[in-house]
């Protein structure tokens, strides 16, 4: 007690005092809800490893989107599960494919009341489950994939999407999407680049969510968890290629990367609290081991504190509703 006058606890004494000095805010507008729609589904299907998250029917997706708008979330991010997959992921480019059809429906429903984003990647649509097409030797063919991403970006933009989210970690994917969009007259469609995306075990439940047929892993295109500097290089490249926003993914194991990317980037930075991060908290809470609601808000606040302007989370609507009620 050498310095009795320095007492940080003074600022923690009452809820009003803590609110006054809080450095980080969490608001509904910061949150983006990822959602899955399954082609041809007649009933929403639960995803066992993501309790509370479903594969939507078009109808339930529409309702959930309206609910998200009502809750005041910043945006929604759409994913689709096609009924047919093939080697080149044709369902992603087809204007009538499930993702493009969903974009069309949802944009018609919500208009500009929220930001409608779509995943721009082939893994949902390929029968081998990789994010790109394969070369004869079985490796993922970067440049052949870029050509398809370009067409997929245009198909999503034609369907009315506000933001495309290239997430396949192919070199040059942001430039390819930007060039294709501009050539098609879609200069207003923005790009949220999954700039620093790691080959993470925490993607596990997502594989179930999209019924992925992947054998093996994505270590030749997603980043090695050992690398931080590489994330800065990836981010700088994406901004150079025309990314309007960049993303770090997953979130919780990469908060240091997020903080460094926030320092470097002069565009909005997003972080994706992914399926495995969701599943861990849901599972521990189901066992009564942690207080779910507090844990959710703590993680979202931490991701914001580390530097995320925008947080993609499967709890977006629920958290937005709590935040509104707490006002
Ligand atoms: C790629 C993509 C993935 C996720 C979002 N976009 C899967 C992957 O890269 O393996 C994962 C999201 C999550 O785990 O919640 N289409």
**Residues 238/174, Cβ–Cβ less than 8 Å:** yes
CATH of residue 129's domain is 3.20.20.70
Evaluate: CB of 234 within 6 angstroms of ligand 1.
no
Task: Choose one of 91, 131, 195, 206 to mutate for the ligand 1 pocket test, by most ligand atoms within 8 angstroms of C-beta.
Answer: 206
Token pair 């809470």 in the structure block, residue:
285
> What's the rounded Cα separation, in Å, for the pair 255 and 284?
21
pLDDT confidence bin for 326, thresholds 50/70/90: confident
Q: Is residue 3 part of a domain?
A: no
Given the structure tokens 């969009």, which residue do they identify? 181
Does residue 13 fall inside a structural domain? no
In a domain, 205, yes or no: yes
| CB of residue 119 inside a 6 A radius of ligand 1 | yes
Query: What total of structural domains would you count in the chain?
Result: 1
Q: Which pair of tokens denotes residue 192? A: 């949220």
Q: What is the 3-state secondary structure (H, E, C) of 27-41?
A: CHHHEEEEEEEECCC
Least Cα distance to 318 among 51, 67, 79, 109 occurs for: 67
**DSSP for residue 157:** H
As a whole number, the mean pLDDT across the chain is 97
Domain that holds residue 308: 26-325
206 close to ligand 1 (CB < 6 Angstrom): yes
Instruction: Give 123 Cα–ligand 1 centroid separation in angstroms.
Output: 9
With 90 as the cut, is the pLDDT of residue 181 above it?
Answer: yes
Q: Is the CB of 203 under 6 A from ligand 1?
A: yes
User: How far away, in angstroms, is 155 Cα from ligand 1 center?
Assistant: 20
Is 127 a domain residue?
yes
Cα dihedral 74, 223, 122, 307, rounded to 10, equals: 0
Model pLDDT for residues 236-249, shown as the tens digit of each residue = 999 999 999 999 99
Q: Is the CB of 275 under 6 A from ligand 1?
A: yes
CA separation for the pair 244, 226 (Å, rounded):
27
Model pLDDT for residues 182-228, shown as the tens digit of each residue: 999 999 999 999 999 999 999 999 999 999 989 889 999 999 999 99
Q: Is 85 a catalytic residue?
A: no
Q: Is 16 inside any structural domain?
A: no
Tell me if 123 CB under 6 Å of ligand 1.
Answer: yes
**Is there a domain that residue 1 lies in?**
no
Is the pLDDT at 1 greater than 60, yes or no?
A: no
Ligand 1 atom at minimum distance from 204 CA = 14
Say how far apart CA 182 and CA 164 lie, in whole Å: 13
* Whole-structure pTM value: 0.97
Residue 70 backbone phi and psi in degrees, to 5: -60, -40
- Residue 5's pLDDT is what? 82
In the annotation, is 249 catalytic?
Answer: yes
How is residue 249 annotated by DSSP? E
Confidence of residue 3 (pLDDT cuts 50, 70, 90): low
In tens, the pLDDT along 121-140 reads 999 999 999 999 999 999 99
Label each residue of 41-109 as H, E or C.
CCCCEECCCCCCCEEECHHHHHHHHHHHHHHCCCEEEEEEECCCCECCCHHHHCCCCHHHHHHHHHHHH
Is 70 exceeded by the pLDDT of residue 2? no
**Hey, is 152 helix, strand or coil?**
helix
The catalytic position among 63, 85, 96, 197 is 197
Q: Which residues pair with 272 in a beta bridge?
A: 312
pLDDT score recorded for residue 215: 86
**Does 67 carry a binding-site annotation?**
no
Q: Is residue 282 part of a domain?
A: yes
CA of 170 to the centre of ligand 1 (A): 14
Strands 75-81 and 269-272: unpaired
The pairing of beta strand 45-46 with beta strand 269-272? unpaired
Catalytic residue selected from 63, 85, 96, 249: 249
Quote the CA–CA distance of 99 and 11 in Å, as a whole number. Answer: 49
83 occurs within a structural domain: yes
Name the residue with the closest Cα to ligand 1, atom 12: 274
From 168, 173, 197, 203, mutation site for ligand 1 pocket: most ligand atoms within 8 A of C-beta: 203
Cα 132 to ligand 1 centre (Å): 13
Q: Could you list the beta-strand ranges (E) of the chain.
A: 31-38, 45-46, 54-56, 75-81, 115-120, 163-166, 190-197, 245-249, 269-272, 310-312
């Amino acid at each position: 007690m050498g310095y009795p006058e320095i007492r940080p606890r003074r600022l923690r004494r009452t809820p009003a005092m803590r609110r006054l000095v809080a450095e980080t805010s969490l608001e509904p507008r910061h949150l983006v809800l990822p959602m899955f729609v399954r082609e041809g589904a007649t009933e929403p299907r639960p995803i066992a490893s993501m309790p509370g998250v479903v594969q939507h029917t078009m109808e339930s997706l529409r309702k959930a989107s309206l609910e998200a708008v009502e809750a005041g979330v910043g945006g929604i991010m759409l994913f689709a599960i096609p009924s047919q997959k093939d080697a080149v992921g044709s369902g992603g480019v087809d204007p009538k494919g499930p993702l493009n059809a969903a974009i069309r429906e949802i944009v018609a429903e919500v208009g500009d009341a929220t930001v409608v984003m779509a995943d721009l990647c082939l893994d949902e649509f390929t029968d081998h489950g990789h994010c790109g097409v394969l070369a004869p030797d079985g490796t993922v063919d970067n440049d052949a994939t870029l050509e398809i991403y370009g067409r997929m970006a245009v198909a999503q933009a034609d369907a009315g999407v506000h933001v495309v989210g290239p997430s396949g970690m192919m070199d040059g994917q942001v430039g390819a999407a930007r060039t294709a969009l501009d050539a098609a007259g879609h200069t207003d469609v923005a790009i949220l680049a999954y700039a620093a995306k790691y080959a993470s075990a925490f993607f596990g439940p997502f594989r179930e969510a999209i019924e992925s047929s992947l054998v093996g892993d994505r270590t030749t295109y997603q980043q090695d968890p050992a690398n931080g500097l590489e994330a800065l290089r990836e981010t700088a490249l994406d901004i150079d290629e025309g990314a309007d926003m960049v993303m770090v993914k997953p979130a919780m194991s990469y908060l240091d990367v997020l903080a460094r990317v926030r320092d470097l980037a002069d565009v909005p930075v997003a972080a994706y609290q992914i399926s495995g991060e969701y599943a861990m908290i849901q599972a521990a809470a189901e066992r009564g081991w942690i207080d779910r609601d507090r844990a959710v808000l703590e993680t979202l606040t931490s991701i914001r504190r580390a530097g995320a302007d925008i947080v993609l989370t499967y709890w977006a609507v629920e958290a937005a509703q709590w935040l509104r009620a707490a006002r």
